[in-house]
């Protein structure tokens, strides 16, 4: 019995000793943990290492060797190529630069103080309010829409419905342009028709040759052919006026007589500006002027050219110069209206009167 009681007491002493040992170990751990928790470093300026606060390394560097005393700076080393740190730090190594994805392009290259800046390639976007896991293709506006805001690397295309007023304006512009084009075409046709010379053919009754001259696009060619034929003649010889031939074949006109002699004829020259400019060359050939004389007045204005050539004709004809010869030449060239207007002006201005009055 005594032996059993001794064993019980011995067991109780062993349990008490074990409990005391455990309590001592727990107390020592609590003290150590409390000391670790009591360390408080200044955020953004210091970092904790082995229960002391070391000063941060500057941007673009990392901590190569930590400090051994509180509030001191360890050994800082600059970041290597393709590495960076963007803030003051206590990192044991620099961060690796980001590589842009295949659907992105580099906006700004990586430096030792800044990471790579990527953006979506042209024609794609990634919204700022979403995680950019993949760039999305920019939308296209429908046929009944128009672009309000173009697509960028951070925003999609913004479309809006086309306004009916815009469509009606477009239609109006098209109609107006078409109308102006048609109107211009019509005006051009009318102008071309009126300005195109009459193609009526006249036949010269010159005693030297019969020359048919067609008015129109080949007028210059025909006149050059006639000039070539006439140039073979003696320039000093006089062209026989057609009025001296075959008077019996033409209907006689009422003759006019001058009221002031030679002065009346000379003053009437201004009225012959009435004559169609396309008939100038033939008219002066028919009244007897040479091609050399006609060409000598080509530098004058049409109205001055007529006056100068009529003066040459008057000097050449001398006393035979007759107002009636000029009128009959116009009538023969189918310029009766011009002839009648010239006669009317000559009578009104008191230069001529009819012989039978």
Structure confidence by residue, pLDDT tens digits, 167-216: 566 677 888 899 999 999 898 888 888 765 444 433 334 433 333 333 34
Mean per-residue pLDDT for 123-148? Answer: 90
Token reading at 6: 């001794």
Q: Check whether residue 155 and residue 215 sit in a common domain.
A: no
- How many structural domains are present in the chain? 3
In a domain, residue 24? The reply is no
H or E element at residue 265: helix 262-267
User: For residue 10, is it within any domain?
Assistant: no
Is 187 among the domain residues? no
Whether the CB-CB separation of 289 and 309 falls below 8 Å is answered with yes
pLDDT of residue 123: 93
In percent, the amount of the chain with pLDDT more than 70 equals 73
Residue 264 structure tokens: 């009346």
> Between residues 303 and 278, which one has the greater pLDDT?
278
For residues 260 and 349, membership in a common domain is answered with yes
Asked if residue 122 and residue 79 are part of one domain, the reply reads no
Query: Does any domain span residue 188?
Result: no
Whether 251 and 114 share a structural domain: no
Q: For the chain, how big is the Rg over CA atoms in Å?
A: 59
Longest alpha-carbon distance in the chain? 195
Structure tokens at 277: 């400019």
Q: Which residues contact 244 (CB under 8 A, 6 or more apart)?
A: none
Whether 259 and 312 map to the same domain: the answer is yes
Mean of pLDDT over the chain: 79
């Amino acid at each position: 019995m005594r032996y059993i009681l001794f064993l019980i007491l011995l067991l109780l002493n062993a349990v008490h000793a074990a409990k005391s040992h455990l309590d001592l170990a727990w107390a020592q751990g609590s003290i150590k943990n409390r000391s670790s928790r009591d360390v408080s470093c200044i955020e953004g300026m210091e970092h904790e290492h082995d229960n002391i606060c070391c000063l941060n390394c500057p941007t673009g560097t990392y901590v190569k060797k930590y400090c051994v005393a509180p509030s001191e700076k360890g050994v800082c080393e600059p970041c290597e190529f393709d590495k960076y740190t963007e803030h003051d730090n206590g990192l044991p190594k620099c961060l690796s630069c980001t590589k842009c994805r295949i659907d992105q392009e580099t906006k700004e290259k990586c430096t030792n103080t800044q990471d790579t800046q990527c953006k979506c390639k042209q024609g794609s976007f990634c919204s700022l309010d979403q995680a950019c896991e993949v760039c999305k293709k920019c939308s296209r506006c429908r046929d009944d829409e128009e672009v309000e805001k173009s697509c960028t690397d951070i925003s999609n295309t913004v479309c809006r419905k086309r306004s009916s007023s815009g469509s009606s304006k477009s239609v109006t512009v098209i109609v107006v342009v078409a109308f102006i084009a048609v109107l211009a075409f019509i005006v051009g046709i009318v102008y071309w028709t009126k300005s195109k010379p009459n193609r009526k053919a006249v036949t010269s009754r010159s005693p030297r040759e019969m020359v048919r001259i067609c008015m129109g696009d080949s007028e210059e060619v025909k006149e050059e052919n006639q000039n070539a034929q006439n140039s073979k003649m003696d320039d000093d010889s006089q062209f026989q006026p057609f009025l001296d031939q075959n008077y019996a074949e033409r209907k006689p006109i009422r003759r006019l007589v001058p009221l002031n002699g030679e002065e009346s004829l000379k003053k009437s020259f201004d009225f012959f500006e009435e004559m169609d400019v396309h008939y100038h060359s033939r008219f002066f050939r028919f009244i007897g002027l040479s091609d050399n004389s006609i060409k000598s007045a080509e530098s004058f204005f049409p109205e001055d050219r007529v006056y100068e050539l009529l003066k040459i004709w008057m000097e050449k004809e001398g006393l035979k110069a007759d107002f009636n010869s000029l009128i009959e030449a116009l009538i023969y060239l189918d310029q009766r209206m011009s002839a009648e207007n010239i006669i009317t002006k000559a009578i009104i201005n008191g230069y001529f009167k009819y012989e039978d009055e």
